[in-house]
Amino acid sequence: MAEARLVEDYHPETARLRSIPDPIVFWDETLRDGEQTPGVHFSPEEKLRVATLLSDIGISVVNAGIPVVSEEEARAVKLLAGAGLKCHILAAARTVPSDVDAVIRSGATHIAIFVAASQVHLRYKLKMTQEEVRDASLRTVRQAKDAGLHVAFVTEDTVRAPFDFVERLYRDVQDAGADRLVVADTVGIMTPLTFRWYLTEFQRRVRPKDLSVHCHDDLGLAAANTLTAVECGARAPHVCVNGLGERAGNASLEEVVLELEALYGVRTGIKTERLTELSRLVEELSGIPVAANKALVGYNAFSHEAGIHTHGILANTLTYEPLQPAKVGARRQMILGKHTGKAAIVEKLKERGLTASDPLLLELLQRIKTSTEGRSKSDLQRFLREYRHLFERPGLSDEEFWTMVDALGIRKGAS
């Protein structure tokens, strides 16, 4: 079957506007930022299962977590670092010497040193001046380099920070030995056009040896902005399986990879046929259900019910699918329901070698429509109530919290 003619076939001149790196270094954040999804917790053994599959499919860098957070987190990073995976194991640290020491002890070969950069973060969260941030950054970058680590330097909220400060800070840490510079759109406020301007200006001013981006999905633009960054030469895009992450999540691994493969013709080196397997594993271990309409790995991504659509799909799958479901390890489904057409029934009957006259087909079609339209929604509504109850307040319940408070004997006026 011929391949689909996608957008690049019609606009080949756009290629001159891009400078896509080769190779692209996919940096996965599922086990760090993804785990910061409200209510999500991965055990060290679960992290190893996810990291092993990420490594097997071709992901280059896996952020295992922040070892200074807890003994269990430190054990997780050490477990992954000693597992002999093909990917690089990275751990994160604040611009605090003890954080960097924890990464060094973990055995990770890569470190991401992060600090906030915007005025609102410096004033209200860190309570530090720009000069204090710069000094702490230089000190810890040098500490990590002296220990032989590959150092990525990240600023939270880069794009809302004063550009003069960003320029000076990043140039200084690169001179101090930082190997990779990460620009973060922490609250997801960039648009592709604005991000293109920003990254072009950032590269003109800073001249990074290796550029990386971290995009959040607060306004639904994380994947689009990440693609823009790759077009601008960002070598190491951050991604998360199923788009997990703080608040609305991060750029989705499966979306960024397949968009590069299908729309740009880029050979990513990722075994895309295992992406649905990866998605389901992370869904199971995180407890966060994949949305039915999630691009590429959602349960409806390759499902068809409407008569016009199923007729088209049966004639040629390219009519209503941009790529074959096998590309991501998924299967096509023909759904029988209210919108079903005759062609879908004819195809379904073939499973048992059956045929039917037009009158019988029409009768069967009417029964299918009547049956599905008359079904009760009570089971679905019950499920949705339980889902909302679980996810509107993830983590500890108020009852569990106050039980802990009472057990510790915390009282009014006590200190």
Domain of residue 193, CATH code: 3.20.20.70
Tokens 């990043």 correspond to what residue? 170
Q: Are residues 251 and 209 in the same domain?
A: yes
Q: Are residues 357 and 395 in the same domain?
A: no
Omega of the bond prior to 12 within 30 degrees of 0, cis?
Answer: no
Q: Are residues 77 and 111 in the same domain?
A: yes
Q: Are residues 388 and 329 in the same domain?
A: no
| The pair of three-digit structure tokens given for residue 140, joined into one six-digit string | 């810890």
**Rounded to 5°, angle at Cα 30 from 28 and 33:** 105
Asked if residue 291 is part of any domain, the answer here is no
Asked if residue 12 is part of any domain, the answer here is no
What's this model's pTM, rounded to 2 decimal places?
0.91
Q: Report the pLDDT value the prediction gives residue 89, as an integer from 0 to 100.
A: 98
In contact, 230 and 194? CB cutoff 8 Å = no
Q: Report the pLDDT value the prediction gives residue 310, as an integer from 0 to 100.
A: 81
Burial code of 26-61, b = ≥16 C-beta within 10 A, e = fewer?
A: bbbbbbbbbbbbeebebebebbbebbbbbbebbbbb
Q: Report the pLDDT value the prediction gives residue 12, as an integer from 0 to 100.
A: 63
Q: Are residues 269 and 344 in the same domain?
A: no
Count up the domains in the chain and report the number.
3
Regions of the chain short of the pLDDT cut 70: 1-13, 414-415
Asked if residue 39 is part of any domain, the answer here is yes
Last residue of a domain, one of 237, 256, 286: 286
Q: The domain containing residue 390 runs over which residues?
A: 381-407
Measured from the Cβ of residue 357, the count of other Cβ atoms closer than 10 Å reads: 8
Asked if residue 251 is part of any domain, the answer here is yes
What residues have CB less than 8 Å from 107, skipping those under 6 apart? 77, 78, 81, 82, 89
Q: Are residues 253 and 333 in the same domain?
A: no
Q: Are residues 266 and 135 in the same domain?
A: yes
In contact, 142 and 182? CB cutoff 8 Å = no
Q: Are residues 81 and 223 in the same domain?
A: yes
User: How far, in Å, CA of 302 to CA of 309, rounded?
Assistant: 11
Q: Are residues 344 and 236 in the same domain?
A: no
Asked if residue 367 is part of any domain, the answer here is yes
Q: Are residues 264 and 356 in the same domain?
A: no
- Is the four-CA dihedral 404, 406, 410, 413 of positive or negative sign? positive
Q: Report the pLDDT value the prediction gives residue 8, as an integer from 0 to 100.
A: 53
| The pair of three-digit structure tokens given for residue 248, joined into one six-digit string | 């609305």
| The pair of three-digit structure tokens given for residue 358, joined into one six-digit string | 């037009």
User: How far, in Å, CA of 161 to CA of 121, rounded?
Assistant: 9
Q: Report the pLDDT value the prediction gives residue 7, as an integer from 0 to 100.
A: 57
Last residue of a domain, one of 234, 251, 286: 286
Q: Are residues 351 and 392 in the same domain?
A: no
Last residue of a domain, one of 252, 286, 320: 286
| The pair of three-digit structure tokens given for residue 412, joined into one six-digit string | 């009014």
Asked if residue 4 is part of any domain, the answer here is no
Q: Are residues 74 and 171 in the same domain?
A: yes
User: How far, in Å, CA of 304 to CA of 307, rounded?
Assistant: 8
Question: Strand, helix or coil at 333?
Answer: strand
